[in-house]
Structure 1
């Protein structure tokens, strides 16, 4: 568990003296091996501020892959874990450009910074005063500073007690209960059913874990599943007033170094039933979680290996997507598979599975690949049969 910051810590870290001390701290390694020595150096220089300085620098270093302005921000460990990545927050802000927005669980302000760039007025509220003061610091020190007090206002308030007339409400309920991650909507903090009831009839965007059972919510609006750089990051529930007409599911695929794209259930999903083509394609996780595998296949001229399995196949691979060229197909049995791989001089072996109860690491150990040529196995179920495709590693 990370260091517990106080409001006094935040005031110090945001001061000129704190900024200078953080610069000195950042010159140290702060690795597990060097930490005791580094702490001793810092205690001699900064007394009881040493722990807060170390924690802040270590959190900033962790945050650089997630947040664009991390180099000057303040954090807590829990808040950093739940903070929305900059690319995802920016994508959401674009959808809300021009509206007044109230983030009722604003935490350390990662979402506020992006909203403030495109919205005329933004309110951030939270029950934790320390996090609110961290948010104030982060908003002020964003790379393209926004005007705290001009178009951003921060207030202490309960997310379940409406206190503004903003056009749009944003919420990000904490996804942990009793110290463990939860997918139960009623165990989120604040509970999702209570949150929806509190803002009934208003335009609402709620960030959720992508593993949530959305169908159980009877949600009227759009569910958008977002991935960033190949990893599924979140789902966002958009109320009917914010949803695109005719869209109830959307997959959005973002990249840190290029343009993103979206796919919705309003697009065609008619695909043929055919034997496997030359390639196997594993769609982005956002497409799978959003239930848009057939829509993705129809858009790119692909079809499914099996109607119940998310692996796709075809004679070409969509641009920018990793595909696996099929070299052989066989019933899944270890002994014949081991012989086939040996005949191909198989060495480095990637194993992908879906629809079968197989541990890739245990299977790799059993197959004993000792050659020099890299291969990929795709093990899946077609009909009732476990099937393995031996593929060239891209």
Structure 2
């Protein structure tokens, strides 16, 4: 759960005196091996201030990769975990360049920080007094106020919101169980330019959203969805996949692009599209852009004679009709001792299948088991590589 910071803690942690104390605590290793001894030293040195100092140092270390520029920030554990990664926040901020933006669930200020210098005006509010006080420390140039997200306090601004994705300590995919409830949030700001960060697992089709749904991945992992109201979406776009890298590179694809793909026999490669493309329902659009086609219309794996940059490609050595016996014989032929098993559209558990294959060879291979038409095929492939 982490330390329960108080307003008094935040005031202290933002002082010059605390800066020296934090630097001293940061010189401690604070690893699993040394934690008890280090905490004892910190308690002897700083007394009742120890928990706030130690937790702040540990949270800053955890946040370093996720939130570049946050070396001197203040966090709560939940706020740090739920904060938007810096690369994703910067990507969103670019879509709001030049606008007056009000983040109505600003928490400790990760989105505000990305908006600074990009948006014309940056306003943040939160109902949590401690997080808001931390945001004032973290992003001193933003205009901040304490307010309930469901009670509008500005006019003419783009409203940015990030409803908490945890209910009772557990992640939830129920829009009404978010904090504040997503249906209430959408109703309160109906008719306003609105961007709402959400979990990518929400059922957007049943949400009645008439704008754009953007699915964002970072370094190969799907991070979030963002709902963009019609006034912020590009004409004709209702789904977008944004594939980002921590080095600042990335690309996008939308449902405004062509999704016409041929039906052909499997090519030389099997291609595993980025998760954002799959979650956004843009597999066919991605295939059309890169001259690929589907193994089967019901699954996300694609195939072709080349691999687009930056995605996993499996070079097919042999395609067989799937059965345990035939797959075992085929892998033995290739002297396979280690296998990665990927399954789409077929009721096969890789953890149960692997021991039945009785592998004894020296080669590492991949097997893609997938529905193709009315049957299941196994594609024996070289170990995957990103091109």
What is the CA-CA distance between 1:68 and the residue it aligns to? 0.6
Matches within 5 A, 1:1-394: 1-140=1-140, 148=141, 152-393=142-383, 394=385
What is the CA-CA distance between 1:254 and the residue it aligns to? 0.3
Report which stretch shifted further, 69-78 or 197-206. Answer: 69-78
Divergent runs of 4+, >4 A: none
CA contact (8 A) 1:271 1:302 kept: yes
Mark the runs of 5 or more structure 2 residues left unpaired by the alignment: none
CA contact (8 A) 2:87 2:248 kept: no
Give, in whole Å, the separation in 2 of the partners of 1:364 and 1:63. Answer: 38
Report which stretch shifted further, 211-220 or 66-75. Answer: 66-75
* Structure 2 match to 1:143: none
- TM-score, reference length from structure 1: 0.95
What is the CA-CA distance between 1:359 and the residue it aligns to? 2.7
- TM-score, reference length from structure 2: 0.97
Mark the runs of 5 or more structure 1 residues left unpaired by the alignment: 141-147
CA contact (8 A) 1:127 1:157 kept: yes
Give, in whole Å, the separation in 2 of the partners of 1:354 and 1:65. Answer: 33
* Structure 2 match to 1:145: none
Give, in whole Å, the separation in 2 of the partners of 1:353 and 1:361. Answer: 11
SS in 1 for 2:342: strand
How many residue pairs align between the two structures?
Answer: 384
What is the CA-CA distance between 1:380 and the residue it aligns to? 1.5
Q: CA RMSD in A?
A: 1.2
Report which stretch shifted further, 32-41 or 194-203. Answer: 32-41
Give, in whole Å, the separation in 1 of the partners of 2:205 and 2:78. Answer: 29
Report which stretch shifted further, 84-93 or 361-370. Answer: 361-370
Give, in whole Å, the separation in 2 of the partners of 1:179 and 1:384. Answer: 43
CA contact (8 A) 1:87 1:256 kept: yes
CA contact (8 A) 1:102 1:166 kept: no
